[in-house]
Amino acid sequence: MTALAYAAGVLLAVLGLGLSIALHEIGHLVPAKRFGVKVTQYMIGFGPTLFSRRRGETEYGIKAIPLGGYIRMIGMFPPRRDDPEQRVRADSTGFLQQMQRMSDEARDYDASLYDPADAHRTFAALSVPRKLIVMVGGPTMNLLISVVMLTVLSCGVGMPQLTPTVHSVSQCVVPVDAPADAGCEGRPAAPAAAAGIRPGDRLLSIDGHRIETWDDATAAIRGAGDRTIPVVVDRDGTQRTLQVTPILDDRPVLDADGQVQRRADGSVVTERAGFLGVSPSSGFVRQSPLEVPGLVWRTFSGTVHLVIGLPARLVDVAQAAFGTEERDPNGPIGVVGVSRLAGEVVAAREPGIDLQAKLFLLVSMLGSLNMALFVFNLVPLLPLDGGHMAGALVEGARRMIARWRGQPDPGPVDTSRMLPVANVVFMVFLVMTMLLLYADIVRPVRLFP
């Protein structure tokens, strides 16, 4: 792989991540401004500011550490009320006193950042539906990006599929349980080789059944038994009809995904079926737009399972990074890992990895990344967007119950009380980020050996 191509892949990954973060924050910014909330900052990244420009009342900028972004809305917490019922009693535990002190300090600091005349323009002053719209706007942008990328992948680039074009022809019949290096000495010739089928032939029909996909070919071959059947192939633009006599043999049973089924002891599940002795080529086939919802759902559900199982997967990452365990290629990776993979893809020179394959890998990475951002930000914990959404939903429920009971409006939910939890969550995220950073450096996931 060339250094220039590798660097280009890394740059593409960084730009893709940066654009995803920027659009996520725009998803918060636009509805916040539309609802009159005063937004003082729109920043991509964290740490020292590299560049910024003020437009109106908002400062737009880029910071040094590209691990996220934020918009700063005034009044994220409701102002502190001098309410005796909300004070911590003198005999309260030290822990509760510390939590109350942290909450009061956060609200006081938050209130000091804006003029009291702007109190009506705070996030806390919004109605519950508007709070939800502002906070869900960011994850929704990531979902839309993911849907667009998956649509481009499915309908533009194409999805990888086995095609009915013959990739290779077996010279003999080798039993399923034979060693990988088993030779052909003493074994019968494979039917396809005996009939003259060659690599590059495209199967058009088998035993009168039209062949559109490799699944069609597999079904027709297995159902033919040991009868002599006509097989029509396209060879260099010319149709040829060959007479083929499949043999009945013990063949692997495939599941719905085309994978070989195995028993609990690892042995292959077999069935008596027709055998021809050809293997398919792989290629990219453009799908109908009607296939996109199913692809989006599979990506979403797979990401949800990944997030739910994240603690166990992080343990696996730690064992791989600090021990001798193999890194799971389907496990979580960090920003460095994504960038390295993008670099490998762009610089790859492996057989079969052409421009279309590279586009598929890069677009699928960006689509999966944005789906992960969508799902992860819906987790109902501060400081994630889902934590603020959960606070708004609790606020709406409290107000609804108060109306039913004829009680006064309880006011906005004070999410500052959840700051201790938010700090713990932040520390967990920091540890997770550092672990993935270390693992991506010392034990990276690789697409190619």
User: If you write DSSP's letter for every residue of 110-138 in order, what string do you get?
Assistant: HHHTS-GGGGGGSSTTS-HHHHHHHHHHH
Question: Could you confirm whether 395 is annotated as catalytic?
Answer: no
> From CA 414, how far away is CA 217, in angstroms rounded?
63
How far is C-alpha 21 from the chain's CA centre? 15
Tell me how far CA of residue 288 lies from CA of 15, 154, 215, 365, in angstroms. 29, 8, 18, 21
User: What is the rounded distance in angstroms from the CA atom of residue 28 to the CA atom of residue 25?
Assistant: 5
Q: Which residues contact 323 (CB under 8 A, 6 or more apart)?
A: none
Look at residues 247, 446, 426, 242 and name the one whose alpha carbon lies nearest to residue 341. Answer: 446
DSSP strand pairing (159-169 vs 278-285): antiparallel
| Per annotation, catalytic residue among 25, 212, 291, 325 | 25
Angle CA 218–224–228, to nearest 5: 125
**In the block, residue with structure tokens 């709406």:** 396
CA–CA distance, 73 with 189 (Å, rounded to integer): 74
Question: What sign does the CA torsion over 32, 34, 37, 43 have?
Answer: positive
Q: Which residues are catalytic?
A: 25
